[in-house]
Structure 1
């Protein structure tokens, strides 16, 4: 890690992060105190194994709206997020964008079934990642079996999230979709720490939320307003939502 960049508390994001891409990892000693080590793919490794993993790692950081990898490009790297938020998206044949997911500190991306990326990964906020050459980290799976098992477990969770997203887009109403999303974001916010359980931090724009839920921006804004007027949520600026009645929001998300 660049020593000139101060460590960010969990759940918070820097606005002044410089774009850095080094030829080798410089954050070896920082790994031990990494704020997302407990949820990242390297949490199954001991100190010696982390040092072995660091041999193939480099810092790869991007500022807001910058691309980390693009749909159709050769899938040469795997990325582990240390700080910030990343959105994954695909372009439809008619030019529309479909956001397929948001990734947060501790998440990884870059595994591909073929030799090209099937999505574009873009920084929603300034992002810090550890980047690994795909071929070399695949070799490390044999050397570090705990790492391979951890990545497999995280990939299984990702597949479950993809199935949940299919249900969200295919069967739920606009209100059900937004309630489901707010509950999901509240869980993510709580997992990163720094906020109470009824707090949902939304670093993405309303347009991003709309493209993720398969709705228009107007519909998303209208549903936010209705939930607030019903006393179920309180909006605190553009990026913070307080869930005032989590149980009622859960019932709405389930169509009850």
Structure 2
């Protein structure tokens, strides 16, 4: 979801949202873009009967939505205290029209979203529960780039993971405990830290 635009922080209005406060609503006019500067957000789609499905998570540096659009294609809410810079849509459109760098960043974000969609379809259609969780942990650990491992955002609950991965909360809890026993991960201050990314990758590449 990232759209790297350092100037956004100085060209918008800073706002803070509390835990579970919705700041983007699906199908509403996309009048504003939100550059996450602190905290994290939960992204989801809703059904007419009130049910919803988590489709992703946003972290520091991400821009929501990452590209100009007429209406929001999904909803977003704060997972905990969230700080964003609100950038008016006309300014973002102007930026894309006048800045080759902004246009390239938007195309890169669209490409990343497409790749993520393909990976998610594969995950839900073919991967086992163990593979799904390993894939998710690796994705979270390398979300800021492949050169450094980051802990899983502690605001992402087991229920959130289960919803996103198409599993039950009980299955996620059982697998996290198994990964902990196998010394693939450890828990520190509610955050999940990856200890052995190579073995997690092996789970994805060579399922048991």
Report matched runs for 1:52-91 at 5 Å: 54-55=10-11, 57-91=12-46
Question: Taking structure 1 as reference, are residues 148 and 175 closer, same or farther at Cα in structure 2, changes over 3 Å only?
Answer: same
Q: Which residue of 246, 249, 255 maps to 2:197?
A: 246
Q: Deviations over 1:2-36 (max 9, x none)?
A: xxxxxxxxxxxxxxxxxxxxxxxxxxxxxxxxxxx
Q: Deviations over 1:131-176 (max 9, x none)?
A: 1221332122222232222222122212212221222222111110
- Asked if 1:214 corresponds to 2:166, the answer is yes
Task: Using structure 1 for the length normalisation, give the TM-score.
Answer: 0.71
Contact 2:67 2:106 (8 Å CA) reproduced: no
Q: Which residue of 117, 132, 136 maps to 2:87?
A: 132
- Asked if 1:232 corresponds to 2:195, the answer is no
Q: Which residue of 126, 140, 160 maps to 1:171?
A: 126
Q: Give the distance between the partners of 1:217 and 1:63, measured in 2 at CA.
A: 25
DSSP 3-state at the match of 1:129: strand
- Asked if 1:186 corresponds to 2:137, the answer is no
Q: Which residue of 101, 107, 118 maps to 1:152?
A: 107
1:92 aligned residue: 47
Q: Give the distance between the partners of 1:111 and 1:235, measured in 2 at CA.
A: 32
Task: Using structure 2 for the length normalisation, give the TM-score.
Answer: 0.86
Per-residue deviation, 1:120: 0.8
Question: Taking structure 1 as reference, are residues 134 and 251 closer, same or farther at Cα in structure 2, changes over 3 Å only?
Answer: same
* Corresponding pairs, count: 206
1:197 aligned residue: 149
Gaps of 5+ in 2: none
- Largest Rg, 1 or 2: 1
Q: Give the distance between the partners of 1:248 and 1:226, measured in 2 at CA.
A: 13
Contact 1:75 1:111 (8 Å CA) reproduced: no
Per-residue deviation, 1:216: 1.0
